[in-house]
């Protein structure tokens, strides 16, 4: 989970959407720090040092200038000795920040450069992207598909959650950093990329040709299904526009007096915490939605707003392995409070909280894990996921025949 000013973003740092010229964070759960306006405290050589006690929690007895002496020694050596001069100081600075965050050894803490930060913010506000449209995990042995976006080139090409990209345009990705592999997948709309995929249950790797496209991020989709069942799908927990669009679509569906509602959170990688609370509150009249559990033992509690318009109608929530973070908060609250049933397969399992802080001079942002989040019953789902009340899988044969047994099961249950 991530924190940023007054917004709360629920973010799986390692997951990105392959869009635009770079990427945007895909799975999230967290907040943005009020420290976004704080100034830098790094002491340059010759400046008056301040103790770490007043600046950080690393240790109160060390002097910052002394601590950073090896860093500045290395900095000078690079500028004096490196063969290709001049070096790019901005890139060196960003690399130093990235190395520091990576040294924490936490998969969900990271440095986001300015381009990625811009595109992440654009994704939440529903702007247009170029790419293949898939959530990916860059921390595994190979770049791994978490979930394709609905109606994206990735989905149309048949990519599935869990697919490992072992080669890109014929180039072996063994031993290649996941972020570098991700960048190789990116490209302008209309261009093609050949992905060699290793898939569980399939004996041999196979190639998938994907034509990149411009992708308009529409976060809310709604319609009436058979048997007078309403269906509403949320693709990402975006900003205030997303929550208002969701509310308006929900009201439009309720005006048709459906027998029940299906909330589809499949392949929804998350978004802003505020959005997750608001969406949950549309269906939950009162009670705790989620807890944040910190290292010192204290908890922050988030409750339903009491402004929901669909708190009594029968409800089914569709989930799968691509449902993560903010999606798991909503689904977990609905399940724990007995508000509705979960149908599908076990969710991703991202239950940590990151603080998101913008860096000064528009140099990107850092995300640092500060807590875990818990369901209303006090459960942690981190690396575990939510187990659906009714397990329904989708087979390759279903996909080939354009069948959706999870949706069909939800309609069947609500029709009863």
Residue 154 φ/ψ region, left for φ over 0, alpha for ψ in the -120 to 50 degree band, beta for the rest: alpha
Task: Look at residue 53 in the predicted model and tell me its pLDDT.
Answer: 39
**Is 125 annotated as catalytic?**
no
**Is 336 annotated as catalytic?**
yes
Contact (CB, 8 A) for 300 and 353: no
Q: What is the tens place of the pLDDT at every residue in 246-295?
A: 999 999 999 999 999 999 999 888 878 889 999 999 999 999 999 999 98
CATH homologous superfamily, domain 220-351+369-415: 2-enoyl-CoA Hydratase; Chain A, domain 1 (3.90.226.10)
* All structural domains of the chain with their residue ranges: 128-216, 220-351+369-415
Give alpha helix (H) positions in 226-291: 240-254, 273-283
Task: Look at residue 30 in the predicted model and tell me its pLDDT.
Answer: 52
**Is 203 annotated as catalytic?**
no
Task: Look at residue 44 in the predicted model and tell me its pLDDT.
Answer: 39
pLDDT under 70: residue ranges of the chain: 1-62, 118-129, 147, 150, 216-218, 400
* 128-216: CATH number: 2.30.42.10
Please state, in angstroms and as integers, the Cα–Cα distance from residue 133 to each residue in 150, 315, 396, following that order: 8, 29, 20
Task: Look at residue 358 in the predicted model and tell me its pLDDT.
Answer: 87
Which of 95, 106, 116 has the alpha carbon at shortest distance from 18?
116
Show the 3-state SS of 151-169. CCHHHHCCCCCCCEEEEEC
Active-site choice (3, 336, 352, 409): 336
Task: Look at residue 312 in the predicted model and tell me its pLDDT.
Answer: 97
| Domain 128-216 identical in fold to domain 220-351+369-415 | no
Residue 144 φ/ψ region, left for φ over 0, alpha for ψ in the -120 to 50 degree band, beta for the rest: beta
Task: Look at residue 123 in the predicted model and tell me its pLDDT.
Answer: 58
Active-site choice (275, 325, 327, 352): 325
């Amino acid at each position: 989970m991530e924190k940023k000013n007054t917004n709360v973003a629920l973010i799986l740092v390692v997951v990105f959407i392959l869009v635009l010229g770079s990427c945007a964070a895909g799975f999230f759960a967290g907040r943005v720090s009020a420290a976004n306006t704080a100034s830098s405290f790094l002491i340059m050589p010759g400046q008056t040092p301040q103790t770490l006690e007043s600046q950080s929690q690393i240790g109160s007895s060390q002097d910052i200038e002394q601590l950073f002496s090896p860093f500045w020694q290395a900095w000078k050596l690079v500028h004096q000795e490196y063969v290709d001069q001049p070096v790019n100081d901005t890139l060196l600075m960003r690399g130093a920040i990235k190395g520091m965050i990576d040294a924490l050894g936490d998969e969900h803490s990271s440095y986001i450069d300015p381009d990625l930060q811009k595109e992440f913010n654009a994704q939440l506000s529903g702007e247009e992207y170029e790419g293949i449209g898939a959530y990916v995990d860059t921390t595994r042995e190979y770049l791994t598909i978490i979930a394709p976006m609905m109606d994206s080139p990735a989905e149309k090409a048949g990519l599935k959650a869990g697919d490992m990209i072992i080669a890109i345009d014929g180039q072996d990705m063994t031993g290649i950093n996941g972020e570098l592999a991700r960048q190789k997948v990116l490209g302008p709309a209309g261009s093609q990329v050949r992905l060699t995929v290793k898939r569980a249950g399939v004996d041999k790797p196979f190639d998938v040709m994907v034509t990149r496209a411009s992708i308009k991020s529409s976060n809310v989709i709604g319609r009436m299904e058979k048997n007078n069942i309403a269906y509403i799908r949320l693709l990402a927990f975006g900003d205030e526009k997303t929550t208002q669009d969701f509310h308006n679509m929900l009201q439009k569906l309720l005006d048709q007096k459906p027998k029940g509602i299906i909330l589809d959170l499949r392949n929804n990688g998350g978004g802003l915490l505020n959005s997750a609370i608001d969406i949950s509150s549309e269906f939950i009249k009162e009670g705790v939605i989620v807890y944040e559990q910190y290292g010192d033992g204290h908890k922050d509690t988030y409750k339903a707003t009491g402004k929901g318009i669909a708190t009594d109608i029968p409800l089914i929530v569709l989930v799968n392995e691509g449902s993560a973070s903010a999606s798991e908060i909503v689904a977990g609250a609905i399940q724990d409070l007995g508000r509705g049933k979960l149908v599908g397969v076990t969710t991703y399992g991202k239950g940590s909280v990151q603080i998101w802080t913008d860096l000064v001079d528009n140099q990107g942002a850092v995300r640092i894990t500060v807590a875990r989040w818990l369901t209303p019953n006090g459960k942690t789902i981190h690396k575990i996921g939510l187990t659906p009340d009714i397990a329904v899988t989708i087979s390759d044969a279903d996909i080939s025949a354009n069948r959706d047994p999870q949706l069909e099961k939800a309609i069947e249950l609500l029709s009863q």
